[in-house]
Structure 1
Amino acid sequence: MDQLVNFLARHPHIHYSTLSSPDFDNLRRGYVINDTIPAMVVRPRSGADVASLVSVLKANDLPFSIRVGGHDMFGRFQVKDAITIDLREIHYIHVDRDSQTARIGGGVLVKDLLQELDQHGMVVPHPVISSVGFVGWATHGGYGLLSAEYGMGADQILQAKLVDANAVVRDADEDMLTAIRGGGGTLGVIVELTIKVYPLSQILAGFIIYDSTDLSTTIKRYNDAYRRQTEEGFPKELNTFQSVINSSGSKVLAVLFVWASSNLKEGQKWISKLLAWSPVATSTVLPTTMSAFNESTKTIVPTMVYGRSLTISLRDLTSEVVDVMSKHAILQPNSPATMFGMHELRACAPQPSLSTVIDTRCHHFVLELLPTVQDVALLNAALVWAHGFYDALLRTDSANILTSTYLPLTEPSKVNMKGIYGEKFETLKRIKRQYDPDNVFKLALVQVR
C-alpha cells in the first residue's frame, strides 16, 4: 500500500479517498447501500492514469475492482479492503454525425450520453435507468430500450481502448472486441468505446398507468392482449417495459411506451391500441426526446436503496407465468422502491453483424424482481416476497425457462457462467487465457477460468 500512496503523491491530479477522507462514504456508495468498505477509492482522469495505476497495483499484488455507475445490484464493483478504480472522471463524448458514431470515455453515464446525443439529433440503445454507466451496461450485454430496432448494447460497440494485463493502453483487436461485447472487463479496464449511434430526434414516449383496482385482472388482461399482438406482430419502432410499481400507496401496472420514430402519426395509432387493452388511469405519452424521456424515468426509481435483485429469463409470458405474476403482484410489499419489471429481446431485433460472446438471441423476457427498500426495516418482508415470487416462477414449465440469466442482475450464488454464455463460453475462455493468463482482472464481474 505504501507504494500506491507514494505513486498518488507523485500524481496529485489523481484524486483518491480513504476511510478517513470526508468524501469517502459518498464516493464508495452505489445504488444499493451496503457495508463493503474498500481500502481506497481512486479516480484516474485518463487511460494513461489507469495504466500507471494498474502497473503499481499489479507490481504490489494489490487487489482492485472497477466502478462506473455503481448499479450492480450486489455491489460487485467494489471489494472489501481492495482498491476501487472509479472511472467517472474519464468523461468525454465526441459525436460524429457523418459516420453515425460516438467516442466516449469509460466513465460516461447514460444520462450524459443521451443529453449529448440529443444535441446532435441522435440516439443509441440504452437502459431504462439514467444513472447507469453506459460502458458497463453495454459490455455486459445491454438489455434496454430501442433493442428491437437497433440490437443490444453490446452490438453497438465498434472499437475499444483498454488497459490490458500488461498495464498498457491498447486498441482492442478483433478477438478482444469479441470478448468485450458481452464479457465486460474480464480482459482489462475499458477506458474508451466507439459506438454506433442513430439519427432520431423527436419520439413519442411516456408512461401508461392502467387502472389497477383489480390488479390481478389488469395484469392478465394486458398480457392476453400483448400475446395476441405478438402473434400478429409489433413494429420494430415500438418499445415497451412492463412493470408493477407502488404509486401513492397502491400497486399499479405501469408500462413504459417508446415509439422510436419521427413518424408520430403511426405511433399515435399504436398508443391507441395499447390504451384499449385495459382501462387506463392515466397516460403521459407525448412527443418528446429520448433524453427528456429517460430523465423522466427517475420518478419511479429512488437514488439509493437497500436490497438486491432476483432474475429469471423466460421464452414467453405464458398463461402459467402470468398467473404467477398476477398472484405475486398482489402480495408485493407497499414500499415505494419495491417493484418488478421485465426486459424483452424481441424476435425482430437485428442479429449482430459483429462477433460477440452473447449466446442467447432468441425471443425472450428477462424478469427483474426488485426487493429493494429505502427503509431497511422493510427489507426482510421485501426479500420474502421476492424469493416466493422467484420460486413460483421456477415451478412453471421448465421448457419455458432459459438456462442463461442476465449477469448484472444475477445473485452471485446463482451465477453459472457456462449457462450464461452457452456455446460462446469456450470462446470467452480461450480469449481470456490468451490476453490475461495470470488473471490480473480477477475481480471483474465476468469470472472466466
Structure 2
Amino acid sequence: MIEGETSVQDCLRHRMPSLSIYTGGRNYQDCLDRYNNALGEQPLVCTRPRTEQEVSQLVQFCTEESIPFAVRSGGHDFFGRSLVHEGILIDMRAMDSVIVEPDRTSVHVGGGVISGALQEALNSDGLFTPTGQAKSVGYVSWACGGGYGFYVGTYGFGVDQILAARVVLAGGKVVDTDEDPELLWALRGAGAGTFGIITELRVKAYPVPKLYAGFLAFPLTEAASVMDRIEKLLQDDFPDEFSGDAVAVNPEMSPMPVVEPCFIFLWCWTSVDGNLALAKSFLEQMMQAGRVLGNTVTETTPAAYGLGDSSSGTFLRSRSIDGIHRKVGAILERCPPPHPLSAVIFHYNHGRGVRHGVADNVGAAFPNRHQHVILGLHGGTRSGQANTQELADAAKWVTGLEEAIDQNGLSLEGGFPAFWPPDQVDVERFFGEQGAARLRRLKAQLDPNDVFRHAMPCLKAG
C-alpha cells in the first residue's frame, strides 16, 4: 500500500493527468464542506472526477493499492459516509449533467447532481421529478436510499422513479443495470455507495405539477392539542396530494419568521391536474387546529419550494412511528429543542408510495411500504464550528426523545438506514430476512472483498 500524502498524490497525477486533485487550499476545503460540522475526518486527497472513465480509474487505483475511499455527492450524510480519514475522497459534484430523453418521460442525471439544481434544470424544460425537502441534498444518494419527501403520496418514493443506472464496481468495471436487473433492484433502497459508485441514473420525468405550498406554524406549547386535531383530520381524510411533513423548531431554524418555538407544517399539496380548490379547503380545515403563528402557503412550483441549508454540529438519531399523535406532541412540549438549530423533523409517508411498489418486474429492495412517519431527531447546535458541550447537550436531548418515544410504545420495527449510524444498520431488521439474503448474495458477487464497506459496513458478503 502506498503511504503518505505526497506519494498518493504523485501516483494519481502520473496515472490520471486530467483528474482534479486537491490536498489543501480552497478547493480541498470545498470538498470537505458538509452539513454536519461535528464530523472531523480529513482525507489525504480530495478528487473531483468529471467522467465515468476517471471514476473507474480511481476505484481501480484504490482497489489495487488498498486505499480506503468515500464518495461524496451532497455531503449531507450525518454519520460521515461521504468522508474518509486518511484516504481518498471522490467528490462527484462535477458530474452534474441533466439530459432529457426525446420522449420527455425520463431524464439522465449525473452522479453528482444536487436536488435543487435538478429541479431548476427540469423546470426550465417544463418537467419535474420528485426530490426531497432540502434543495442542497445530493440527488442520487437521496433517491437510492429510499427518497422521502413532499411527493411520496402523489408520485411514490425516490426509488420508484429509478429506471436504470450506470455503476462503477470494485476494480473499476462499469455496469449498466439494463444488463443486471438484480443490481437495479438493490440500488432501489440499499443506497448509492453500497455496491459501487453511480455515475448516472435514468429516472422518470413528469409535466410540472401545480403546488399549493408554504409553511403553517403553530406554537410548540400547543403541540399536543394541535397534533391531536390534525391526527383526527387525517384519519377522516388524508388526501394523497397532501404531504403531511412537519418540523418542531426554534425561531432560528424556522423556515418562516416566528418569535417562539413552533410546530410547522411544511405544507405541500401537489395537484397533477392543476385544480387547487380541494387544497385551499383542506388548508382552512388545518388552520382550525390551533393558534396560527404564520401561514405562507400559496401557489408555487417544485423548483421554488423547499428548505435551505441549516448546517451545524449535529447529533442525529431517528424513530419510525405510525402517524402524528398527541403523545408525540406532549413529548415535544416537555422537551423543546435546546439549541437554535435543534429540531424534530417529521417525514410522513402515505398514499401512492405505500400502496404501490415499483411498476416493473424488477421491484425494489426498499422495504417501507406501509404508512409511517420517520422522526428525524436532529440534535443541531448553531452555525459555525461544533462546540463540544453543546453537542453533548444536543445528544442528551436526542436520547431523551428516543427513550420517551420508545417508552410510550410509539416506535415501529425497522427504520431508515440513512438516519442510522452505519454500524447500527441491522440488515435483517431493516430489509427483512429475504431482502437481506438477496443483498448479501449480490455483495458476494459484485464486491467480495468489501471494497464498498463505508456505506453499510454490516452488509457482509454471504
Global fold match (TM > 0.5): yes
Q: Which residue of 2 aligns with 1:54?
A: 59
Instruction: Please give the per-residue CA displacement for 1:36-86, whole angstroms capped at 9, x wherever unaligned.
Output: 111111110011110011111111111111111010111221121111111
Q: 1: distance between equivalents of 2:8 and 2:42?
A: 21
Map residues 210-221 of structure 1 onto 2, 5 A cutoff: 210=218, 212=219, 215-216=220-221, 218-221=222-225
Q: Which amino acid aligns with 1:102?
A: V
- Quick check: 1:190 aligned with 2:201? no
Map residues 294-305 of structure 1 onto 2, 5 A cutoff: 294=306, 297-298=307-308, 301-302=309-310, 304-305=311-312
Map residues 268-287 of structure 1 onto 2, 5 A cutoff: 268-287=280-299
Q: 1: distance between equivalents of 2:372 and 2:97?
A: 34
Instruction: Please give the per-residue CA displacement for 1:107-150, whole angstroms capped at 9, x wherever unaligned.
Output: 00001011012112222222111110000011111111100111
Residues 162 and 189, structure 1, Cα contact 8 Å, conserved in 2: yes
Q: Which amino acid aligns with 1:259?
A: W
- Residue 99 of structure 1, CA deviation: 4.2
Q: Which residue of 2 aligns with 1:264?
A: 276
Map residues 30-109 of structure 1 onto 2, 5 A cutoff: 30-33=34-37, 34-96=39-101, 98-109=103-114
Give the alignment partner of residue 320 of structure 1, picking from 318, 327, 337. 327
- Residue 21 of structure 1, CA deviation: 3.8
- Residue 445 of structure 1, CA deviation: 3.8
Q: Which amino acid aligns with 1:13?
A: S
Q: Which residue of 1 aligns with 2:459?
A: 448
Q: Which residue of 1 aligns with 2:175?
A: 170
Q: 2: distance between equivalents of 1:174 and 1:305?
A: 39
- Quick check: 1:240 aligned with 2:244? yes
- Quick check: 1:403 aligned with 2:408? no
Instruction: Please give the per-residue CA displacement for 1:336-390, whole angstroms capped at 9, x wherever unaligned.
Output: 2111111111154341124111122111110011111126253332222111111
Secondary structure of the residue that 2:188 maps to in structure 1?
helix
- Residue 412 of structure 1, CA deviation: 4.0
Residues 118 and 201, structure 1, Cα contact 8 Å, conserved in 2: no
Q: Which amino acid aligns with 1:408?
A: A
Q: Which amino acid aligns with 1:177?
A: L
Q: Which residue of 2 aligns with 1:122?
A: 127
Q: Percent identity?
A: 28
Q: Which residue of 1 aligns with 2:144?
A: 139
- Residue 196 of structure 1, CA deviation: 0.9
State the TM-score, normalized to the length of structure 2: 0.89
Secondary structure of the residue that 1:259 maps to in structure 2?
strand
Q: Which residue of 2 aligns with 1:203?
A: 211
- Residue 391 of structure 1, CA deviation: 1.3
Instruction: Please give the per-residue CA displacement for 1:282-320, whole angstroms capped at 9, x wherever unaligned.
Output: 1111111111112xx22xx42x31022110111234443
Q: 2: distance between equivalents of 1:139 and 1:404?
A: 18
- Residue 322 of structure 1, CA deviation: 3.5
Residues 44 and 86, structure 1, Cα contact 8 Å, conserved in 2: yes
In the superposition, relative to structure 1, how do residues 276 and 341 fare at CA in structure 2: closer, same or farther (>3 Å)?
same
Q: 2: distance between equivalents of 1:311 and 1:322?
A: 16
Secondary structure of the residue that 2:323 maps to in structure 1?
coil
Q: Which residue of 1 aligns with 2:265?
A: 255
Q: Which amino acid aligns with 2:430?
A: I
Q: Which amino acid aligns with 1:176?
A: L
Q: 2: distance between equivalents of 1:238 and 1:22?
A: 42
Residues 4 and 56, structure 1, Cα contact 8 Å, conserved in 2: no
Q: 2: distance between equivalents of 1:250 and 1:356?
A: 42
- Quick check: 1:345 aligned with 2:349? yes
In the superposition, relative to structure 1, how do residues 165 and 268 fare at CA in structure 2: closer, same or farther (>3 Å)?
same
Q: CA RMSD in A?
A: 1.9
Q: 1: distance between equivalents of 2:171 and 2:394?
A: 45
Q: 2: distance between equivalents of 1:283 and 1:164?
A: 48
- Quick check: 1:381 aligned with 2:393? yes
- Residue 280 of structure 1, CA deviation: 1.0
Q: 2: distance between equivalents of 1:95 and 1:367?
A: 35
Q: Which amino acid aligns with 2:382?
A: Q
Q: Which residue of 2 aligns with 1:427?
A: 438
Equivalences, count: 434
Q: 2: distance between equivalents of 1:4 and 1:50?
A: 16
Q: Which amino acid aligns with 1:365?
A: V
Structure 2, unaligned runs of 5 or more = 252-257
